[in-house]
Amino acid sequence: MADPMRIRAQASGDKATVRVLMSHEMETGQRKDSAGKVIPAWFIQEVTAQHNGKPVMTAQWGPAVAKNPYLQFIVKGAKVGDKITLSWVDNKGDKRSDEATVA
């Protein structure tokens, strides 16, 4: 199973900046191993974000997003104590969902 994400949500005024780090190989499918065999592509394809259970953003990624991806976005109207949930699904169907509280 995939390792947990690190989610930081920092409120400022009437919005919150969300910074997310995800643990993932993000293998492009274009590299070869030492034996010359192509390493199959393995990457996060979809990311969704929720604010207190309501979807606020969806992203689709290709394999050119960097390994151990970083994502930053700004949620309007998020207050201290609100919940921010991030979920991802990769091209092998592996999933991960984590939650953080706005600070």
Partner 1 sequence: MHTRRDMLSQSAKVATMLAAAGFLPSLAQAQSDGYNKAAFDAKTINDAVKAMGAQAPSESKDVTITGPDIAENGAVVPVGASTTVPGVKRLLLLVEKNPSALTAVFDVTDAIEANVSTRVKMGQSSDVYAVALTNDGKALFAKKEIKVTLGGCGG
Partner 2 sequence: MKPLVIAVALSACAIVATAQNAAQKSTADGIAEYRRMLEEGNPAELFEAKGEALWSKKRGPKNASLEQCDLGKGAGTVAGTFVELPRWFADTNQVQDLESRLLSCMENLQGISAAEVAKTPFGRGEQANMEALVAYISAASRGMKFNLPQDHPEEKKMLELGKRAFFYRAGPYDFACASCHAADGQRIRLQDLPDLTKNPGDGVGFAAWPAYRVSSGELWSMQRRLNDCFRQQRFPFPGYASEVTVSLGVYMGVNAKGAESIAPSIKR
Binding site for partner 2 (CB under 8 A): 3-6, 19, 21-23, 25-26, 66-68, 70, 72
59 interacts with, out of partner 2, partner 1, none, CB within 5 to 8 A per kind: partner 1
Q: What gap in Å lies between CA 51 and CA 6, rounded to an integer? A: 16
Instruction: Evaluate whether 43 touches 31 at the Cβ level (below 8 Å).
Output: no
- Which of positions 23-52 make contact with partner 1 (CB under 8 A)? 26, 28, 30, 45-46, 49, 51
Burial of 28 (0-12, 13-18, 19+ CB in 10 A): middle
| Position 87 contacts partner 1 (CB under 8 A) | no
